[in-house]
A = this chain, B = another copy of it.
Amino acid sequence: MAALKGRMVIGQSGGPTVVINQSLVGAILEARRHDAITGILGARHGIAGIMNEDFIDLTLPSKEQLETVAATPAAALGSVRLKPGKAECERVFEVFRKHDVRYFFYIGGNDSAETAHIIAEMARDADYDFCTVHLPKTIDNDLKVTDHCPGFASAARFVALAFMGDDRDNAALPGIKINVVMGRHAGFLTAASALARQQQGDGPHLIYLPEREFDVAAFQQDVRDTYQRLGRCVVAVSEGIHDAKGNPIATTGERDSHGNIQLSGTGALGDFLAARVRDAFLGQKVRVRADTYGYLQRSFPTVHSEIDAREAREVGIFGVSHAVKTGENGSVAIRRLSNHPYASECFVTSLSSVARESTEMSDAFIHVNGHDVTPAWLEYLRPLVGELPRMGRLG
């Protein structure tokens, strides 16, 4: 079969990561190697840019410029939070026809896979020769099929380092410290805080995940118990914790463009929990502080996992190479081959297997007490994050 010939469009969608541009640059550099790809258009702000025909010619940037982009956090093409409806997808498809676009690569999470899926079906129904490949990206690590998602391990490294330092800070000035970590439905990133522990007694001492119901009274008791035992307590809590009915524990009431309640970019949950801890220690002089790690987790430069950066690049290369070779739609996924030494490979799964639904942490990763992780979780996570510094101690 002769390769599909025509232009390609590539776009980025959803929350940025520290390595999302590695996938972009991997795809661009691979595309430049193939005659079948007659032009490389970067869509500014994803689907929105396609609808507005707002493209960057990605045949122009030098290799050197692209390598600087690859090492830069956050989506270099601009991102978007838009789940296109039928009319919007029709407009996208019209633009693709107009510009003889035959390849579409969309870097994002399960919503982006869904968008890619809809457009792929539209092309099929119209008998338009076309190939759509979704390139996975999310710090939440909540995509189906793949062993893990590009972007996650770097965010996990940031969280692990943050807790390592914060635990030393808390040991120096003892008290109760609550750190709120990103992850609306999946606790993977919050659970990464467990990597901060190097010695008996190290924090985080309590880890609350959205996979379990959060009960304020039980939380207060857990903190009291830990404080009594250690004289301090470091808590990792997911921004997505909720009560038995699924309601968030505390929010500002704001909603994003998907109608989701705003969890990130506010200190509301941390401050609420700090107040409940103060209630639990009423009359006692206890130092209580809360930090919300916020967007630093997905955009802080110079802190990344080497393996994550490499895999994000490979995902971009593999996606383009697969598209040119097979012309088949799909979503790139990662298969773990070995933990010691770590090895992985890319493969392609169907768009429908990744679109729409997301995953969460399996029971095997969550301690039966509901506020900690298991050794299996650390075994899964450790190779992805890379070597962490030893925290020095005295006495």
Contacts and interface: CB of A to CB of B under 8 A. Distances in A.
Interface of A: 12, 15-16, 18, 21, 42, 44-45, 56, 58, 61, 65-81, 161-162, 164-166, 168-169, 171-173, 177, 252, 254, 256-257, 262, 264-268, 270-271, 274-275, 278, 285, 287-296, 298-303, 389-395
Given A74-B168, A162-B296, A266-B289, 18 more contacts: A12-B172, A21-B392, A42-B395, A44-B395, A56-B395, A68-B391, A71-B389, A72-B393, A74-B165, A77-B395, A78-B171, A78-B172, A161-B300, A165-B296, A262-B289, A265-B291, A293-B296, A302-B389
B72 A392 contact: yes
Contacts of A266: 267, 270-271, 274, 289-290
B265 A252 contact: no
Contact of A389 (B67, B177, B301): B301
A329 to B, nearest CB: 26
**Among A72, A301, A303: residue with most chain B CB under 10 A:** A301
Contacts of A271: 252, 266-268, 271
Main SS at interface, chain A:
loop
B172 A79 contact: yes
A295 B299 contact: no
B289 A291 contact: no
B290 A265 contact: yes
A236 to B, nearest CB: 14
